[in-house]
């Protein structure tokens, strides 16, 4: 994701190279699937933005989408295109939005600054434009 996308949200955000995942959550699963995790920390507020992306293969993609679908809420506004599926996870400390793309990627986005799926649009759009389409 472009640093300018994060800077447009707030210039106080900077990459957090020490970000780690723990527990049983989307980000830990994405990292376990050889995906990538990026995090930005706001030096003024202490809030962070976390983004995870994996290309896990069709079986793992279907398994993880079913898990999130069963415990979350489908949200068409998150999908980006008609072939993608978006979900809002339930029972998380900060909002977590998951997108499963028609080209086989799983994207997870989380931050307390995102009070609705539409507030994460700029981040999601940038990620979708960056990923290979097929």
Q: Tell me the mean pLDDT in the region 50-58.
A: 94
Q: What is the pLDDT of residue 1?
A: 67
Q: Are 37 and 19 in contact (CB under 8 A)?
A: yes
pLDDT of 2 over the 80 cut: no
Place of tokens 């507030």: 119
| pLDDT tens by residue, 92-109 | 888 899 999 999 999 999
Q: Where are the domains of the chain?
A: 3-130
Report the predicted TM-score, pTM, of the whole model to 2 decimal places: 0.89
Q: Is the pLDDT of residue 18 over 90?
A: no
The rounded distance, in Å, linking the Cα atoms of 64 and 32 is: 12
Over pLDDT 70: what percentage of the chain? 95
Instruction: Look at the block and give the residue holding tokens 């993608």.
Output: 84
HSE at residue 119, side-chain half, CA atoms within 13 A, is 13
pLDDT in tens, 117-129: 888 888 888 888 8
What pLDDT sits at residue 7?
74
């Amino acid at each position: 994701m472009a640093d300018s996308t994060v800077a447009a949200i707030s210039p106080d955000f900077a990459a957090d190279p020490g970000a780690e995942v723990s527990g049983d959550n989307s980000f830990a699963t994405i990292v376990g699937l050889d995906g990538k995790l990026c995090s930005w920390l706001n030096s003024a507020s202490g809030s962070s933005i976390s983004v995870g992306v994996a290309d896990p293969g069709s079986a793992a993609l279907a398994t993880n989408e079913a898990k999130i679908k069963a415990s979350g809420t489908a949200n068409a506004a998150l999908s980006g295109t008609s072939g993608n599926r978006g979900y809002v996870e339930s029972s998380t400390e900060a909002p977590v939005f998951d997108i499963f793309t028609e080209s086989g990627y799983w994207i997870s986005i989380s931050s307390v600054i995102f009070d609705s799926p539409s507030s994460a649009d700029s981040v999601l759009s940038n990620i979708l434009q960056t990923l290979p389409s097929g």
